[in-house]
Amino acid sequence: MVTIRISSLVKRFGDVVALDHLDLDIAAGELFFLLGPSGSGKTTLLRAIAGLHLPDAGTIHFDEDDVTRLPPHRRETGMMFQSYALWPHLNVFRNVAFGLEERRVPKTEIRRRVDEALAMVKMDGLGARRVHELSGGQQQRVALARALVIRPRCLLLDEPLSNLDSKLRVEMRAEIRRICKEFGLTAVYVTHDQKEALSMADRMAVLDAGKIVQTGTPVDLYRRPRSAFVSSFVGETNLIEGTIATVSGDEYSIHTETGDLSARLAAPDWKPAPGDLVILSIRPECLSLHVDPPAENAITGRLIESVYLGETAQYSLKCEERETPLHISELNPHRVIRDTETRFHATAKPEDIVILKS
C-alpha cells in the first residue's frame, strides 16, 4: 500500500502541454479514477506515474520515495493497459510468470506466486490453458494476474475493460474493485466510461487541458460539481443561464429565460450574491413532467421527442424561450407520453438544482 503524491507535474510534447503543473494526492489503498475528455492528459499522467514518460518539471513520490527519475522496472508498479496484450504463443502460467522470470525469481517461488495470482483473479487450475482458448473476460483476468504477480506498490489501469462486451465489463468492474480492496492496493484507473468510474471509484479527478478541475467522491462530483464543465462531463445535465435575484439563507431565487427558479444548492466553497450571473445544472432524472402547473420551478414547453427504454422514459421538452430542449428522464415509467400538442410543465426540487459560476 502506497500513497502517491504528484506535485506541479509538467509534461510537454513539442508545443503541446499535456500536463500543466498538475497536483494530485492519492491515499494508500485508494481506488482512484482519472476522467476527462480526449486529449486532457489522463494517459500521460498514468504513464508518468509508471515511469514511461519523464516529466519536464515537478515530482512524483511513492510514500516518502521520490520516484520522478526512477526507471519503470524499479517503481514496482503493476500495469494493465488496453494495449498490453497477452502473448498468444504462451500458456496462462507463462504469461503470468514472465515478470517474475525477468526478475530472476527462483522457480519454486514463481510457481507459488503465479498460483496465488491466478487464485486472486479466480483462474486457479487454468495455468496450462492457451491464451486463445480463453474468453475475453478470462484474458483480462490473466492480464490482471500478470500485473498483480509482481506484488506491485500500486496498480495502474488504462481502459482495461474497453474491449469487453457490456455484461463482462460490469462483472469485471466488481472483480477489480474486490481485488484492490481485498489486497489493499492503491490503484489509478483511466476510463472514458463514467458509469465505470462512478460505480468503482473511491475518489476521482476530472482533467481538462492537462489540469485537474475537480477531485472528489463519485457522489461529490455528480451531486456537487464546481463547474458547468464537470457537471456536463460526469453524467448528463441541463444547463440554464440565469442571474441571482434574491438570497435568503440557503434559498436562492434565480431569473432565467424560462422563468424564475428557486434553488438551494450552490457549488462547493461559493456563496452567490444577488446580481451574479450563474449557470443552473439540473439532471434529467431530477425533472418530472406535469400537465397542471406546479407551485414552483415550472419550465413550460412541448414534447418534441419521447423515447421508452424500459427502466426509463426520456423526453425532450422544447421551451419557446430557449434553443436547447430540456432533457427529462422518468424512472420506472408506467407509460410513455407521446403528446406533442399539450403544453407540459417540467419541475425540479430546489435541492436538486445546482448553482454554478457562469
| Chain residues that interact with ligand ATP, rule: CB under 6 A | 13, 16, 18, 36, 38-44
Comparing CB distances to ligand ATP, the nearer of 36 and 216 is 36
Residue pair 207/48 in contact (Cβ under 8 Å)? The answer is: no
Residue pair 92/128 in contact (Cβ under 8 Å)? The answer is: yes
Length of the chain equals 358
Comparing CB distances to ligand ATP, the nearer of 42 and 141 is 42
Residue that is written with C-alpha cell 419521447 in the block: 306
Helix (H, G, I), strand (E, B) or coil at 234: coil
Comparing CB distances to ligand ATP, the nearer of 39 and 333 is 39
Question: Least distance (Å) from ligand ATP to the CB of residue 224?
Answer: 24
Q: Helices marked H in the chain — which ranges?
A: 42-50, 92-102, 107-120, 136-148, 166-182, 194-200, 218-223, 228-233
Residue pair 321/256 in contact (Cβ under 8 Å)? The answer is: no
Comparing CB distances to ligand ATP, the nearer of 35 and 244 is 35
Question: Least distance (Å) from ligand ATP to the CB of residue 190?
Answer: 6
Question: Least distance (Å) from ligand ATP to the CB of residue 158?
Answer: 8
Question: Least distance (Å) from ligand ATP to the CB of residue 202?
Answer: 21
| Calpha distance 165→80 (Å, rounded) | 18
Residue pair 158/81 in contact (Cβ under 8 Å)? The answer is: yes
Comparing CB distances to ligand ATP, the nearer of 121 and 205 is 205
Question: Least distance (Å) from ligand ATP to the CB of residue 156?
Answer: 13
Phi-psi region of 203 (alpha: psi -120 to 50; beta: other; left: phi over 0): beta
Question: Least distance (Å) from ligand ATP to the CB of residue 16?
Answer: 5
Comparing CB distances to ligand ATP, the nearer of 44 and 262 is 44
| Calpha distance 227→194 (Å, rounded) | 17
